Amino acid sequence: MRVKVFYHDRCFDGASSAALFSRFYAERIRNNCEFVFSGLLHRAGSLFNEADFDGDENAIVDFKYSSSPKITWWFDHHESAFLSAADAAHFEHDQSNRKFYDPSFKSCTSFIAMIAEQRFGFNPAPVAELVQWTDIIDGALYKDAKSAVEMKEPAMQLTMVIESTQDAAFVPKLIPLLATKPLAEVVRSPLIASLLPPLLERHRKSIEILRERIESKDRTLFFDVTDQELEGYNKFVPYYLHPESIYSVGLSKSSFRVKVSVGSNPWASSPPVVNLARICERYGGGGHARVGAISFNVSEHEAAKQAAQEIVAELRASVHAN
């Protein structure tokens, strides 16, 4: 039996969701199976390739819905979970009891843990640490920006490695470790240990680059680092450098996309009032109310830049209005 698990790639919650799902599946559904893990990324154009759904069972976790009949399991918690109204209707009419959605959860990992326990009798206690940290990281539940930027906790170090990796084979090797070992032990493993020193140095340098690049006006930050290899920068650095901010909009670039990241300061003295997922959806992106993103093709740099500038103007105007 071959179970293929598709997860949100370069994302701690995505990798953790795949880990928890595979543990739950092996313990409560079928234990004599082979798991194959495949990362999915938000990009311009089609997000799914039907030919990739070649498992005996195919699951998608922490990523948008696919109405393909080959998808047998689905879990997500993003507000922007559906690519179309037709997909949303397809989900609403699904009778499989294998597809679940709730945007009120901080992380998809904690959502899977709850469903697996309540509906299938899974015991989430052995993965409680993983569930706790996905909520903290995906829900930005750090006590302050300094804690979010210092990278002291194993989960935060793992997040940095996951978000920075360019090796497609890395996260599939990591997922089984997340499913079975304490996070401190995972960080000390040969797979991770040698990667941390250069990434911590890169993190230090990224703080200095962002310090130079960020433009702060009307409590809304804007920065463009498309000329740097910084797509995996720590998203809390802007708020660490500019605690007065409410919103931030950043432009970054990788080999396959130009990304517009739209976020809000979890520690802002005035809470954000704009739903950022809705703004990003207008440009083909999505996310959560407090954080979202849009992916453009690498050839669409100017379109990405224009979208970023329009969003910055809208957010700055909203601050004035309130």
Structure tokens of 311?
Answer: 């969003």
Domains 2-193 and 200-321 alike in fold: no
* pLDDT reported for residue 320: 79
CATH 3.20.20.140 assigned to 200-321: no
In the chain (322 residues long), the average pLDDT of successive 10-residue segments reads: 97 98 98 96 83 98 97 96 95 97 98 98 98 96 94 95 92 98 98 95 96 97 94 92 97 92 95 95 94 94 97 94 71
* pLDDT reported for residue 244: 96
* pLDDT reported for residue 229: 86
Q: Determine contact, residues 259/295, Cβ cutoff 8 Å.
A: yes
Residue-range domain boundaries for the chain: 2-193, 200-321
- Note the pTM of the prediction, 2 decimals: 0.88
- H helical segments located in 165-235: 170-180, 183-188, 190-193, 196-213
CATH 2.40.128 assigned to 2-193: no
Burial class, 31, CB count within 10 angstroms (exposed 0-12 / middle 13-18 / buried 19+): exposed
223 Cβ contact partners less than 8 Å away, ≥ 6 residues apart: 210, 213, 214, 215, 238, 248, 249, 250, 251
* pLDDT reported for residue 46: 76
Bridge partners of 247?
220, 264
Nearest-10 crossing angle of helices 108-120, 128-138: 140
Structure tokens of 206?
Answer: 């990224």
